[in-house]
Amino acid sequence: MAMMSLAANSVVAETAILGETGFAGSYFTTSNRIRAIVRTAPQNGSLDSIYVLVANVPTGAVAKGVLYDSTTLTLIDSTAEKTLAVDGGSFHWEGLAFENSGQIESGKTYLLAIFIGPMPVGVARMATTDSRYYGDYTYSNGVPASLSGGTWATDQVHSIYVVYTIATGSTKVPQRRRRLSTD
């Protein structure tokens, strides 16, 4: 899905979404953990923000959005820490702005991730079966420059997506179609 926004110099910049915007009404409770989905960028661009669907957020819960190269497991960009909105058990989207406008490349695969702090938060999942990653990391140590260990799984993916500005002249790489689960 592409969106249009007006830049300060009156040049129209096109933005797009990479990731998953739906959910199945359930979640994984998470603390001191990075949870990610694996997605391939369809075109070149610069990162704007990352969104994650959460629930059961307690007072004082914090998180950071992160993007890693899924081959080298090295950090591409991260967001500042955000105190998440207390929600009384309801699902809601949290948006976090990337700090450095990291670049993504057409055809390259990334981990779109949320790093949840020490307070447990529910990270929504979808009925869609696909690749995902999760690993335990001590939040107070900061965002890891690279990932090691962790678990790769092929099951229910998280409701996480990034918004990015498409690079001028970028050619879109065709994406494979995903089959939805009938569960």
As for how many domains the chain has, the answer is 1
Domain-embedded: residue 5: no
Domain-embedded: residue 177: no
Q: What is the pLDDT of residue 36?
A: 96
Are 44 and 173 a contacting pair, CB within 8 Å? no
pLDDT tens for each residue of 113-134: 999 999 999 999 887 788 899 9
**The pLDDT of residue 154 is above 50:** yes
Give the whole-angstrom CA distance, residue 29 versus residue 111: 19
Give the whole-angstrom CA distance, residue 176 versus residue 86: 37
Domain-embedded: residue 174: no
Angle formed at CA 139 by CA 95 and CA 19, multiple of 5 degrees: 35
For 6-11, what is the mean pLDDT? Answer: 49
pLDDT band at 61 (very low <50, low <70, confident <90, very high): very high
pLDDT band at 54 (very low <50, low <70, confident <90, very high): very high
Domain-embedded: residue 55: yes
User: To the nearest whole number, what is the mean pLDDT of the chain?
Assistant: 88
**The pLDDT of residue 41 is above 90:** yes
The CATH code of the domain that includes 46 is 2.60.120
Domain-embedded: residue 128: yes
pLDDT tens for each residue of 168-178: 876 665 544 44
Entry pTM: 0.85
Q: Which residues contact 144 (CB under 8 A, 6 or more apart)?
A: 34, 75, 137
Helix/strand number for the chain, H first, E second: 0, 14
Domain-embedded: residue 45: yes
pLDDT band at 57 (very low <50, low <70, confident <90, very high): very high
Domain containing residue 29: 19-166
